[in-house]
Amino acid sequence: MSREMVYLITNMNMKMLDAQLALQCAPVLMNYKISNLLIVEKEKISQVMQLFPKTELSCKLLMVSGEKAAFLIYREQELISYLERIEVREMMENFGYARYSLEEILKEFSARYTQYVEEDGEFPHEMGLLLGYPVEDVAGFIRNEGENFLYSGYWKVYTNLSEALKHFERYDQAKETAVRMVSEGKNIFHILNHEAFQDRQWKQVMI
């Protein structure tokens, strides 16, 4: 991270939703990724729920625990397409997802995630698939119990490191752009309509 980014982040009001979105969700805001997890203070739930219907993104409240709430911020059609890939669907079925509409998947995952957070139950590894991670890396994480990875970035990489690093670089660039825009007083709508991304057609690469 550059000195400029460190300075901007240090001086941002981290209680602002736009700042939290820039840091946690820049890749999906900038159309580099199908989804991101957003964790905010519980009192921001209504603010988040009111924000996203005005955008091209969707949000699902996954969990409320203590003072925190977790959302999945996602691009609906792209996430549906990813989950319909044969290898992804097979892994989701192995995780016990018999019903396969996105609504039903997110409802079930929300229950499992809440149970994990509140009762310290088994970690729901399907989270990696809902965040668009490569199936091979999700499988590698489970098989190696989180160890023996090639690289740890936005996720732990077990295969195709060069491709993963390209994605990580794009995500970093998206975060820097979003942070800079928020520091200039712009909001999520400016970020979503940023001219550098207006004409980009979505290309489902894998992530």
Beta-carbon-side half-sphere exposure of residue 51 (alpha carbons within 13 Å): 19
Say how far apart CA 61 and CA 139 lie, in whole Å. Answer: 26
Contact 63, 71 (CB under 8 A): no
Place of tokens 């979003």: 178
With 0.95 as the threshold, say if the pTM is over it: no
* Long-range residue pairs from 96-99, CB within 8 A, at least 24 positions apart, any chain: 97/126
Say how far apart CA 162 and CA 99 lie, in whole Å. Answer: 35
The first and second tokens of residue 36, run together, are 């991101």
pLDDT at 185: 86
Q: What is the dihedral of CA 206, 57, 93, 125, to 10 degrees?
A: 80
- Which of the listed ranges 95-104, 139-148, 173-182 does the model predict with the highest average pLDDT? 139-148
Residue of higher predicted confidence among 189 and 204: 189
Residue 37 burial class via C-beta count within 10 angstroms: exposed 0-12, middle 13-18, buried 19 and up = middle
User: Is the pLDDT reported for residue 103 higher than 90?
Assistant: yes
What integer best gives the mean pLDDT of the chain? Answer: 88
For the chain, give the number of residues: 207
User: Is the pLDDT reported for residue 206 higher than 70?
Assistant: no
